[in-house]
Chain A
Amino acid sequence: MATVLPHEGVESAPVAPVETPWRRFAADFLESPLAVAGLVVLLLIVGIALVAPFISPQNPYDLNQLDIMDGNLPPGAKSAPGYIYWLGSDDQGRDMLSGIFYGLRISLGVGVSSAVLALAIGLTVGLFAAYAGGKVEGFLMRVVDIQLSFPAILVALILLAVLGEGTWKVIAALVTVQWAYYARTVRGTALVERRKEYIEAALCLGLSHRRVMFRHLLPNCLPPLIVVATVQVAHAIALEATLSFLGIGLPITSPSLGLLIANGFEYLLSGKYWISFFPGVALLVTIVSINLVGDQLRDVLNPRLQK
């Protein structure tokens, strides 16, 4: 907008809403219908996961509600108690729809909690490295580089081979796999930001290092971090499913989507596709919606692509 002469400005300035960064961000985000669809689906999935026990036709892990006679029914079949298995049932007579609702809870729970933990660790390390500089930074980033040069699945495999199985061990493995991504991202942006003058100014004002680090440096490192975090949640969910499928992930007592799919593997070859198929679709839809949102976030938050 042109800066107008004061007396003239009052009458001629158009009454447009003030463009706050948040408004601009929201408007940019909403530009892509695909991303909006992703966001809606994602919110729906999170909602389902949160209220799974209240909306599932049956509690798939209450053995009293299962009837082995209802095992391996195709989608749409009627169960003995009279309700319909919309997505079929597995070998135990478990309603796949309910299984998926509960599975989403576990998959999302493991994915999000590992991402949050990894973010906390990676952010602290990355910020500290960028701030400390010198040998400390060199060492920390060397560790990050080495860790990142190994594929996630290999690191997870090593850890689980050493640690053994269990929900917390899987989360520990996922955190180990992810933290370095955050550390690298934070350190990269923090380095750029650090050189800017406002940090210099904050230091000249005599603010404590801690305050400068977390109140001044951190907020400016957030945009790329948000993008990485979104993508990492999707990665964590996919990796957990993969590990569970391979039989080295979550225990049978925490039936995530990966375990449901593994469960149906043996029936697949005899044409009973639904046991593996539908949990896979749920997993896919979850990951796709997160990635769609993440993709748009990346475009919106990337200063290089802003025109």
Chain B
Amino acid sequence: MITVKHLSKTFYNTAIPFTVLRDVNCEIKKGEIISIIGPSGTGKSTFLRCINLLEQPTSGEIFVNGINIMDKKTDLNAIRQKMGMVFQNFNLFSHLSILHNVTIGPIKLLKMPKEDAEKQAMDLLRMVGLAEKANSMPSELSGGQKQRVAIARCLSMKPDVILFDEPTSALDPTMVSEVLSVIRQLAKQGMTMLIVTHEMKFAYDVSTRVFFMNEGIIYEEGTPEEIFEHPQKPLTQAFINRIRTLEYEIKNSDFDLHHMNAEIEQFCQKYALGNDIYNRILHLVEEIPSIMMQDPGAIHLKLDYSEKNYNIYVEFEQDGCTNLILDNPDTDEVALSIIRGCCESIDENIVGNSRKIKAKVKSNKS
């Protein structure tokens, strides 16, 4: 139904040209419900807005029902009539009553008789639970109510597909569920939808397919299980597990230990990891590099903390070393025992010509 090929978008109206989308390719079939997730600023909304050309793509092709919509000859308005859009900020027509908001499209564009349009509007408003507000003005409604009206307005054009651009991001938490339940209802009715969202649980429940966007491309895609349970690629994993990272470079044995410790303390405080864990991490970053320093070569330290399952990993990487040191009988026994006391598990392996040590820090619960 929608096919996107090599879509790219660069904004030139900023001080430095800014590429949001590099190369997006996808194919969306009728009846699919696609959630688009990813960190902020990775072009999710831009991608959605390119599909109905609210943003003009820099290059690439978009086909809707086989029609190239970027062709100048295409009747874009006709395409848009069949492609609804729900905005983050609702964008209800503030000078029109709720009923008029839902009837103006069918009356002016579909040339529907006024009575029919009003009857249909009332049905739609009943569906989203706002029939009694038909004669109110948008300013009298709460955010959640406005968004439900916006969905009804969208449906009034009988679209083939609806694009949701962060439909709940501007709502306070108490109103999110009322909007989501309307979208769930649409999902049951088999409406084709593309939803940019930050509501992970909702995306898991409702979608047939999930796009994880990062670095201007669809970085990983798959069923909700695949993306949320077993993400394959590191950035997807980091995003799904909400991993926070601290990186530090130890250049040689004369490095500034106090500075590193201060950084780690800051990191621990920021994510409220507690004193015990902080101490364990300190032990690890003191003892492991001291062992590794036997060999020359800078050490790259990486501290990962997942806000989803609370796992903390400390990772050390040293280039130019091909021998294992933890199981080496020459290694200091005392240091090793301290290390083992601080972590649940520790692995060492050689990748290429660099040595990697990854330790899972013991958590308070275990």
A and B form one complex: no
Q: Which residues of B contact A (CB under 8 A)?
A: none
